[in-house]
Structure 1
């Protein structure tokens, strides 16, 4: 698996990422103050589909786990990891930076995105069990404090003419399932977020991270863009 993952990563140098347009009127929808919020239409439909196309061309690698009995969250999805500072900076400066101007953590401010970009793919039957996201030190006083997820599929998706030519292709079907669910104390449900194409979901991680999971996909394919907001 390691060799295949490195092979997928090495293709990043020739990856043709979509052109990201500046987003001028982004609005935060708080689900739990600023610890958890969504942003509608962070990616356009065209941008979302272009990211999926590029990610598929790079080639996903399956990622599993040993499961709860071995102290790991249940995990069954497909993954790509690339390091791209230019892509991270482009997405940060497209409008995400303005959403964090008033958010400080321990006196530190948000300065950008983690250049370690990940793409996740969940097909029917795949899910990610309850877990927390760790805060990561990037050196030079920089540390990640927020998870950024951008749904590349989901919501109402109209079929195109080409979709009808592939009736057995699950990627052409509307996505059902795959909700991101957050829990508070005593496993109390805090929020349930259904995937919507182009919507961003941001939540604090590290020692304040809420327990959360990605529910089972029952129809279609869920695609995600993942990075982290860096503070310094």
Structure 2
């Protein structure tokens, strides 16, 4: 199996964004005695490489220990089984574990402290007079066992304090 973290929102399609419930703890709150505070490190020379229209890959955003800390934190809070009604209802087939968190600090650290902001802004530039300004603080960590899937889909846009989301960031946390 594997885990990935997804910043929700961004596509121009039909899948709905469901925010984490009010009062949901942040993923890496320093006040939680079970979870260490995570300080993400600056990465040298992150580069966003275009892999399609409006799609880029940035390798090395998280170090292996940083990725492992996010997985460990998510596992300590637990996952919920995520399913969908399927293509007949206009939804992607979905069968996997999901944990959702509101974590503005981790979102901001992932964007700024790692250098992801500079890599994305340099590669993407302005689209329609707008530029990337940050990440949605609503984070999702997905866990997949053998045979579990989340089919092709489009994420919906989300209004955040930074503006309206237009793209989705996926960080693969395990091999």
Which structure 1 residue ranges, 5 or more long, are not aligned?
Answer: 155-232
Q: What is the Cα deviation at residue 50 of structure 1? A: 1.3
1:22 and 2:42 equivalent? yes
Match of 2:75 in 1: 56
Which structure 2 residue ranges, 5 or more long, are not aligned?
Answer: 1-19
Q: Is the 8 A contact 1:29 1:39 kept in 2?
A: yes
Match of 1:9 in 2: 24
Q: Is the 8 A contact 1:61 1:80 kept in 2?
A: yes
Q: What is the Cα deviation at residue 110 of structure 1? A: 1.4
Q: Is the 8 A contact 2:26 2:103 kept in 1?
A: no
Q: What is the Cα deviation at residue 130 of structure 1? A: 2.2
Please give the residue correspondences for 1:143-162 in structure 2 after superposition, counting only pairs within 5 Å.
Answer: 143-154=164-175
Q: Is the 8 A contact 1:28 1:99 kept in 2?
A: yes
Q: TM-score, normalized by length of structure 1?
A: 0.58
More strand by share: 1
The root-mean-square deviation of aligned C-alpha atoms, in Å, is 2.2
Q: Is the 8 A contact 2:46 2:115 kept in 1?
A: yes
Please give the residue correspondences for 1:88-99 in structure 2 after superposition, counting only pairs within 5 Å.
Answer: 88-93=107-112, 94-99=114-119
Q: 1:7/1:62 Cα in 2 relative to 1: closer, same or farther (>3 Å)?
A: farther
1:124 and 2:143 equivalent? no
Q: 1:86/1:56 Cα in 2 relative to 1: closer, same or farther (>3 Å)?
A: same
Q: 1:53/1:109 Cα in 2 relative to 1: closer, same or farther (>3 Å)?
A: same
> Aligned residues, how many?
148
Structure number, greater radius of gyration: 1
> In structure 2, how many angstroms separate the alpha carbons of the residues matched to 1:19 and 1:85?
13
> Which is bigger in relative contact order (C-alpha 8 A, separation at least 6)?
2
Match of 1:205 in 2: none
